[in-house]
Chains A and B, each alone.
Chain A
Amino acid sequence: MRMTRIKAATAATLLVLGLAACGNAGNDNSDSGPDVKVSENAADSFADGSRMKELAQSGKIKIGVKFDQPGIGFKGATDKIPSGFDPEMGKILAASLGIKPDDVEWTETISANREPFLQKGQVDLVIASYSMTPERQKIVGQAGPYYVTGQQLLVKKDSDISKLDDVKGKQVCSVTGSTSLDQIEAKGAKPRGFDTYSECVDQVLNGTVDAMTTDGAILMGYAAENPDKLKVVVDPFSEERYGVGYSKDHPEMCQWIVDTIKKAQDDGDWAKAFEATLGKSGVDTPEPPQMDACPSA
């Protein structure tokens, strides 16, 4: 499939002439998660007046996920449905309402707008590497954790960084303004903030920076993309418990989220979702975490 230089140049010329129609890039959509069965007549199983019933009856749900984190939540420039562990959780939840993945309105959330999106009803759920914290739970509801991870380091396979102390004086990349970057600076590393994790990974791959740091789950997603070049090192030095965000206006959603994910954990859909996404980095599928009880309404 390698073409010569001349051919590439011709192809480029064709593009300029607007005759582009010969390429076929990016059509290897091989990763699909578990085939979750979409419930029928789902609306009947929810109490009248509950948000779940409304959503099931309308047949639509808006879910906020990340679009730029492979393995967690990723959407290419031309994809319709994002891929990753978080969207898989979203599909499982939507399916229990009788909503197909195609009918879910996937919205990109970035770290800074998750709370406002829930508060203003821009999205019904946020499943976006969203750590459960007491501060956040004052403003929004968080059900879970559906996954537990912690801050780790992503390095090249041949890197000599193996423990946290090794980062002293090294250049470590993360997203501009993130807490991970502050944490690693406190450990003596030179912080390098970039716009997205993907760009950080590239900086690691081409050797500009020595390591990248953030939640292990995110790092695993990138390691899964380049299993022969990258590895995740260091025991997690923080605990991040990913939860599903929902609006405080609809506290009844918590129990539904917990029950639905619990069911997926028990019947193996959770494990399948993991294997199809984060598991590709070669790590073993972990034990599903024990979820918190919902706050009494």
Chain B
Amino acid sequence: MTTVLFDAPGPRTRARHRLYTVVTAVAIVAAVVGFIAYLNSKGALAYHLWEPFVTPQYVRALLVDGLLKTLEMAFASVLFAIVFGVVFGVGKLSDHAWLRWICLLVVEFFRAVPVLLLMIFVFFYWGITHDEFGRLGSVVIALTLYNGAVLAEVFRAGIQAVQKGQAEAAYAIGLRKTQVMTSILLPQAVKIMLPALISQCVVAVKDTSLGMYVAAPGLTFVGKQIYNQFHNQFQTAIVMAALYIAVNLLLTLAATWAQRRLVGEKKPLDVGMTAISTAGAETQRSTV
């Protein structure tokens, strides 16, 4: 696509681009070197500030009490969110207007409210009296409601993306409404939606970090304990960011692979790509 935007460069343009390239490359190298030198001058590279991250007990805390808990919370909420999403996604396609409306209202409510606001509410309303389970639970409940609402849209779009003829053929051979949904539409829709589902895991992983606000364990929470103990805020932030990025890139890779395996090179289903929300054009319209 991009090549359409500009002509195949001639010798002079190529020379100019080479110049740009060299200049930018030099600038980047200079910036990186300068930044590292700057960090060094500020003492930010001193070994003792990084030492926690090579000390077994802190590495274990980061990975087991931190990353593992983060992943557990993220996957638990995605699993619950799938259930929530199927129920409300199918509900939005119901033949009964009242049911459609209830599902629409529930889904739109949880999509419009910041997940953090939801989390704080669940925590103060319920989680606060249930110790660590309450904190973990508050994160999982809030993420389930939010991601479930997003997934409800994904499921609805996925079901509608199954060719019409499939359902018509199923009705023609005498299947009932529920049978059409469960044995014809949903299985095909799931295949279409799988990549979108995995991408939603990225969103969930990122949003578990908000658990810090309700003192739920997780990577950010452990990182905060570490920087409060060692006063290595910058170093800890770098390590945390690296871990989150690594996990999310792995998930994205998985999504791409699943996309290629199951859907082919078709355009992936349009789903939320920001931490807190979005879905495709038609979904936004439905809010109005």
Residue with the greatest number of chain B CB neighbours at <10 A, chosen from A2, A7, A77, A122: A77
Q: Is the CB of A116 within 8 A of B229?
A: no
CB-CB < 8 A to A139: which residues of B? none
Known interface pairs A77-B222, A77-B226, A199-B228. Does A1 touch B65 (Cβ–Cβ under 8 Å)?
A: no
Closest to B60 in A: A78
Q: Contact check: which of B45, B59, B129 meets A15 at CB < 8 Å?
A: B59
| Cα separation A98 to B34 with both chains bound (whole Å) | 60
* Set of chain B residues within 8 Å of A14, measured between Cβ atoms: 54
A107 and B131 within 8 A (CB):
yes
- Cα distance A117–B54 in the bound complex, in angstroms: 37
Is A103 among interface residues, defined by CB-CB distance under 8 A? no
Contact yes or no, A20 B59, CB < 8 A: yes
Residues 241-283 of chain B, each 1 if its beta carbon lies under 8 Å from chain A, else 0: 0000000000000000000000000000000000000000000
Most central of B36, B57, B213, B228 by chain A CB within 10 Å: B228
Q: Within 8 Å CB of A68, what residues of B?
A: 228
At the interface, yes or no: B184 with Cβ under 8 Å from chain A?
A: no
Picked from A7, A12, A23, A195, the residue with its CB within 8 Å of the CB of B58 is A23
Confirm or deny: A238 has a beta carbon within 8 angstroms of a beta carbon on chain B. Answer: no
A77 touches B225 (CB 8 A): yes
Shortest beta-carbon distance from A77 to chain B in Å? 4
Structural contact, B124 and A202, CB atoms closer than 8 A: no
Cβ 8 A contact of A23, one of B40, B55, B225, B233: B55
CA distance A14 to B59 in the complex (A): 12
Q: Are A112 and B50 in contact (CB under 8 A)?
A: no
Q: A1-B48, A77-B65 are in contact. Are A22 and B57 (CB under 8 A)?
A: no
* Chain B, interface residues (CB within 8 Å), range: 20 to 34
Verify if B212 is at the interface (C-beta below 8 Å from A): yes
* A78 and B129 within 8 A (CB): no
Contact residues in A for B229 (Cβ distance below 8 Å): 26, 76-77
User: Least Cβ distance of B181 to chain A in Å?
Assistant: 43
Are B56 and A26 neighbours in the complex by a CB distance under 8 Å? no
Q: How far is the CA of A26 from the CA of B231 in the complex (A)?
A: 12
Residue A113 CB within 8 A of the other chain = yes
Question: Which residues of chain A are near B50, meaning CB under 8 Å?
Answer: 8, 11-12
Binary contact readout B143-176 vs A (1 if CB under 8 angstroms, 0 otherwise): 0000000000000000000000000000000000
Asked if B131 and A122 make an inter-chain contact with CB atoms under 8 angstroms apart, the answer reads yes
- Bound-complex Cα distance A29 to B166 (A): 69
Least CB separation from B56: chain A residue: A21
Nearest-CB residue, chain B, relative to A108: B215
Which A residues are CB-close (under 8 A) to B56? 20-21, 23
B186 to chain A, nearest CB (A): 41
Interface: A25 (CB within 8 A): yes
Asked whether A196 is an interface residue with its Cβ less than 8 Å from the other chain, the reply is yes
Instruction: Kindly report which residue of chain A lies nearest to residue B228, judged by CB atoms.
Output: A198
Q: Check B61–A78 contact: CB distance below 8 A.
A: yes
Q: Which residues of A contact B48 (CB under 8 A)?
A: 1-2, 25
- The docked-state distance in angstroms from the alpha carbon of A108 to that of B230 is 20
Contact B230 A202, beta carbon cutoff 8 Å: no
Contact present for A202 and B215 (CB under 8 Å): no
| B54 touching A22, Cβ below 8 Å | yes
Is the Cβ of A5 less than 8 Å from the Cβ of B45? yes
Contact of A3 among B47, B129, B212, B215 (CB under 8 A): B47
Q: Does A15 lie within 8 Å of B54, measured CB to CB?
A: yes
User: Which residues 187-243 of A have a CB within 8 angstroms of B?
Assistant: 195-196, 198-199, 202
Residues on A with C-beta less than 8 A from B180 are: none
Query: Which B residues are CB-close (under 8 A) to A117?
Result: 129, 131
- Encoded as 1 (CB less than 8 Å from any A CB) or 0, chain B from 35 to 65 comes to 0100010000111101111111111010001
Please report the C-alpha to C-alpha distance between residue A122 and residue B134 in the assembled complex, in whole angstroms. 12
B224 sits at the interface (CB 8 A): yes
Give CA–CA (A196, B229) in the complex, Å.
13
Tell me, yes or no, whether B128 is within 8 Å of chain A by CB.
Answer: yes
Contacts of A5 in B (CB 8 A): 36, 40, 45
Q: Are A112 and B124 in contact (CB under 8 A)?
A: yes
Encoded as 1 (CB less than 8 Å from any B CB) or 0, chain A from 11 to 45 comes to 11011000011111110000000000000000000
- Check B228–A26 contact: CB distance below 8 A: no
Taking CB atoms, residues of chain B closer than 8 Å to A15 are 53-54, 59
The reply to whether B47 and A20 contact each other, CB–CB distance below 8 Å, is: no
Known A8-B50, A116-B128, A120-B129: A202·B231 in contact at CB below 8 Å: yes
Q: List 9 A-B contacts (CB under 8 A).
A: A12-B50, A12-B54, A15-B53, A15-B54, A15-B59, A20-B59, A25-B52, A77-B229, A199-B228
Binding site for A on B (CB under 8 A): 36, 40, 45-48, 50-59, 61, 65, 124, 128-129, 131, 212-213, 215, 222, 224-226, 228-231, 233
The 8 closest A-B pairs by CB, nearest first: A23-B55, A23-B54, A3-B47, A198-B228, A77-B225, A25-B51, A116-B129, A25-B52
- Additional 20 contacts, C-beta under 8 A, given A8-B46, A8-B47, A26-B52: A3-B47, A5-B40, A11-B47, A12-B54, A20-B54, A20-B56, A21-B56, A23-B54, A25-B52, A25-B58, A26-B230, A76-B225, A76-B229, A77-B226, A108-B215, A113-B128, A120-B129, A122-B131, A195-B212, A196-B224
